[in-house]
């Protein structure tokens, strides 16, 4: 049976058909839907959200050593978090097959960088596979487990945003029930001490030689002969773009197994064509290796190294042919930057922070990063998951040394706090810092699409779970000043911030209110007074002062003749604008 599936759905289906027993991940766009779809096969696959990518990979490694086929999924920057176990795993190898999915993000659709994770395979000395569409995403992952177990090696399975989210027809098959292998204690293989590691490194290099031999014969690397005047070496979604540009006017070496590279096949292909192009997204990974073989190619000297490719970009880069498009009038295009949703519980906090002088707000990865956008503009840094707390501590200590009088607030989400914020907080307490940490607990993992986390009370598979108490975690670390507030109550929020401004020791402010888009539980509806309500502007009272616009709410607009206008279809009655209005021109309705 064929179905229309995204690449992420296809990977999940492939894992199911391949007999995977265990899967772990931390949600991160564009990889999130892989585990969400694997969770649908909970009768056959145990799946979980891990606190972070390092833990997810370590769980997968443990399951592999136990003899199960396992999978760990993450976005490209998540591999940075998981790099520590990854490099050691390259030495120890597997028992049951293990696939690590890296979903790269060319064009930075939802990421802070566009690193090319193909280099991770080479650096960690593990095999790498790259599908080009949804059908391959399913089929290649089944092949990946065979390779993993045959050559005793983990597989880096590199996707990109376009593969993850584009749909294609996929033929589904039955599950191949793979029995979990026997586990035999093997200290020299699995205990990575220096003495064992030195011997394992020798074995790894031998594996790579065998894997290169395999790369030259596997059907994952195939030649499509057409006109031999032009040859194209490509991989991933760039293969699809190349086919659109050259069609039957070129021959193709389509690489699906991309580390180790099939050097023999590459040379044979290069010798058979007159002009050779290498077309790949982001870094010249393939190009550099091919040039090192002494083969002349055309690649990144013409094709952009920055951003996501498409057929139009390739066509213009190589041939100077510009595709005709509808002319757009730039002056008439209104900028539509992303903004926090109407009713977002983070808005009240940022509004109160925006009024403070002499503060620095170190931010983090999540919906709350949007607090950096106008009109709130209340964020000074955003580096990586968890850095708000530790970078804030560093900023604070440097300021103390220089005599700078500034209060530092680190802003981090609940899921991100569990991911990598706890250790930063330990650092502050241990080293006598006095920066304030604001943990934005919106009761869900928001930006990636509402995934459960250790604080929500449910697992990925929908089972009830203990809720990790953030207050108790902070108390256990040694924080004595902890305030739990409703961030939509501006007086309450202001008082907590004022208290933090005056304290000379670490302080935690926990803003606790559900994400406005969250499907709330009955207890949340009752506890937080959620329901159908909204705010309206009494135009007879409105003085057109525009104070309400400083909240940055997308439900509020302004007409120079009428004054402020609230879109009742967008408004959820969060009251922030009502509290800001100095003339009581905003009223609540629907209570």
Task: Give per-residue pLDDT as tens, 112-149.
Answer: 999 999 999 999 999 999 999 999 999 999 999 999 99
* Residue 392: closest CA among 374, 375, 407, 376: 407
Per DSSP bridges, beta strands 167-171 and 2-6 are antiparallel
Distances (CA, A) of 545 to 106, 407, 489, 549, 583: 43, 30, 22, 9, 9
pTM of the predicted protein model: 0.94
Q: Is the pLDDT at 335 greater than 80, yes or no?
A: no
Expressed in angstroms, the distance from the first to the final Cα of the chain is 51
Q: Six-digit token pair at 48? A: 């979980």
Q: Six-digit token pair at 581? A: 């209005």
- pLDDT score recorded for residue 338: 82
Q: Is the pLDDT at 433 greater than 70, yes or no?
A: yes
- CA 73/CA 24 separation, integer angstroms: 7
Contact partners, residue 142, CB within 8 Å, separation at least 6: 14, 17, 18, 176
Distances (CA, A) of 567 to 120, 218, 272: 48, 59, 65
Q: Is the pLDDT at 34 greater than 80, yes or no?
A: yes
* Residue 18: closest CA among 89, 73, 71: 71
Rg (CA), the chain: 27
Q: Six-digit token pair at 137? A: 């995403």
Burial class (CB in 10 A: 0-12, 13-18, 19+), 137: buried
Where does CATH 3.40.50.920 sit in the chain? 221-319
User: Which CATH class name applies to 534-589?
Assistant: alpha beta
pLDDT band of 591, cuts 50, 70, 90: low
Strand order in the sheet with 251-255: 221-224, 251-255, 230-235, 275-279
- pLDDT score recorded for residue 531: 80
The topology (CATH level 3) of 346-528 is Rossmann fold (3.40.50)
Locate tokens 């030259």: which residue? 216
- pLDDT score recorded for residue 331: 79
Q: Is the pLDDT at 328 greater than 80, yes or no?
A: no
- CA 577/CA 534 separation, integer angstroms: 11
**What is the DSSP annotation of 398-438?**
HHHHHT---EEEEEEEHHHIIIIIHHHHHHHHHTT---EEE
- How confident is the model over 277-285, as a mean pLDDT? 97
Burial class (CB in 10 A: 0-12, 13-18, 19+), 457: middle
User: Which CATH class name applies to 221-319?
Assistant: alpha beta
The pLDDT tens digits of the residues spanning 306-325 come to 999 999 999 999 999 888 87
Q: Is the pLDDT at 488 greater than 70, yes or no?
A: yes
Residues 98 and 60: beta-carbon distance below 8 Å: yes
- CA 524/CA 526 separation, integer angstroms: 5
- pLDDT score recorded for residue 1: 85
Whole-number percent of the chain with pLDDT over 70: 100
Residues 493 and 400: beta-carbon distance below 8 Å: no
Average pLDDT, the chain: 95
DSSP 307: S
- CA 365/CA 379 separation, integer angstroms: 12
pLDDT band of 85, cuts 50, 70, 90: very high
Q: Is the pLDDT at 327 greater than 80, yes or no?
A: no
* Residue 280: closest CA among 297, 260, 263, 262: 297
* Domain 2-215: homologous superfamily in CATH: Thiamin diphosphate (ThDP)-binding fold, Pyr/PP domains (3.40.50.970)
DSSP 464: B
The pLDDT tens digits of the residues spanning 390-416 come to 999 999 999 999 999 999 999 999 999
- pLDDT score recorded for residue 581: 97
- CA 304/CA 293 separation, integer angstroms: 23
Q: Is the pLDDT at 248 greater than 80, yes or no?
A: yes
The pLDDT tens digits of the residues spanning 538-556 come to 999 999 999 999 999 999 9
Contact partners, residue 213, CB within 8 Å, separation at least 6: none
* Residue 467: closest CA among 410, 524, 534: 524
* Residue 496: closest CA among 506, 484, 504, 488: 484
The pLDDT tens digits of the residues spanning 344-360 come to 999 999 999 999 999 99
Residues 254 and 203: beta-carbon distance below 8 Å: no
Where does CATH 3.40.50.970 sit in the chain? 2-215, 346-528
Locate tokens 């000297």: which residue? 301
User: Would you call 533 helix, strand, or coil by DSSP?
Assistant: coil
Encode 268-292 in three state secondary structure: HHHHCCCEEEEECCCCCHHHHHHHH
pLDDT band of 68, cuts 50, 70, 90: very high
* Residue 254: closest CA among 230, 232, 284, 282: 232
Where does CATH 3.30.70.20 sit in the chain? 534-589
């Amino acid at each position: 049976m064929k179905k229309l599936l995204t690449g992420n759905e296809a990977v999940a289906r492939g894992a199911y058909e391949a007999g995977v027993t265990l899967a772990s991940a931390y949600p991160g766009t564009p990889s999130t839907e892989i585990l969400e779809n694997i969770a649908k096969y909970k009768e056959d696959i145990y799946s979980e959200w891990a606190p972070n990518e390092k833990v997810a990979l370590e769980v997968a490694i443990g399951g592999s050593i136990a003899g199960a086929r396992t999978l760990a999924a993450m976005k490209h920057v998540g591999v940075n978090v998981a790099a520590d176990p990854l490099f050691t795993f390259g030495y120890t190898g597997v028992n049951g097959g293990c696939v690590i999915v890296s979903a790269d993000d060319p064009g930075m659709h939802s990421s802070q960088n566009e690193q090319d994770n193909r280099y991770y395979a080479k650096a960690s000395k593990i095999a790498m596979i790259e599908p080009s569409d949804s059908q391959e995403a399913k089929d290649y992952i089944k092949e990946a487990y065979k390779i993993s177990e045959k050559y005793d090696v983990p597989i880096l399975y590199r996707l990109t945003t376009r593969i993850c989210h584009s749909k294609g027809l996929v033929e589904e098959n039955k599950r191949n029930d793979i029995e979990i292998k026997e586990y035999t204690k093997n200290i020299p293989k699995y205990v990575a001490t220096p003495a064992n590691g030195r011997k394992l490194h020798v074995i790894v290099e031998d594996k790579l030689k065998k894997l290169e031999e395999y790369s030259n014969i596997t059907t994952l690397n195939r030649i499509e002969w057409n006109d031999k005047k032009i040859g194209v070496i490509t991989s991933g979604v760039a293969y699809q773009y190349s086919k659109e540009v050259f069609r039957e006017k070129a021959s193709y070496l389509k690489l699906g197994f991309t580390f180790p590279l099939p050097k023999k096949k590459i040379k044979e292909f290069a010798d058979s064509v007159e002009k050779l192009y290498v077309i790949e997204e982001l870094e010249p990974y393939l190009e550099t290796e091919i040039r090192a073989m002494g083969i002349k190619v055309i690649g990144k000297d013409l094709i952009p190294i920055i951003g996501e490719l498409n057929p139009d970009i390739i066509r213009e880069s190589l041939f100077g042919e510009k595709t005709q498009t509808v002319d757009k009038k730039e002056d008439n295009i209104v900028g539509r930057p992303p903004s926090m949703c109407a009713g977002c519980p983070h808005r009240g906090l940022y509004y109160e922070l925006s009024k403070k002088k002499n503060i620095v707000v170190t931010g983090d990865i999540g919906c709350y990063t949007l607090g950096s956008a106008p009109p709130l503009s209340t964020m000074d840094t955003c580096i990586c998951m968890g850095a708000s707390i530790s970078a804030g501590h560093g900023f604070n200590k440097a300021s103390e040394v220089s005599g700078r009088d500034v209060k530092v607030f680190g802003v981090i989400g609940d899921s991100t706090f569990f991911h990598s914020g706890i250790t930063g907080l330990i650092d502050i307490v241990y080293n006598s810092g006095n920066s304030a940490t604001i943990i934005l607990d919106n009761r869900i993992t928001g930006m990636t699409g509402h995934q459960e986390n250790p604080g929500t009370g449910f697992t990925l598979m929908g089972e009830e779970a203990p809720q990790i108490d953030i207050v108790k975690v902070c108390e256990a670390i040694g924080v004595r000043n902890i305030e739990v507030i409703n961030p939509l109550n501006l007086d309450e929020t202001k008082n907590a911030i004022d208290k933090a401004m005056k304290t000379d020791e670490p302080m935690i402010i926990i803003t606790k209110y559900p994400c406005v888009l969250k499907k709330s539980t009955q207890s949340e509806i009752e506890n937080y007074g959620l329901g159908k309500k909204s705010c309206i502007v009494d135009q007879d009272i409105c003085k057109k002062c525009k104070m309400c616009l400083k909240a940055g709410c997308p439900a509020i607009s302004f007409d120079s003749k009428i004054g402020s206008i609230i879109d009742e279809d967008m408004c959820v009655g969060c009251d922030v604008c009502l509290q800001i209005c100095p003339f009581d021109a905003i009223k609540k309705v629907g209570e």
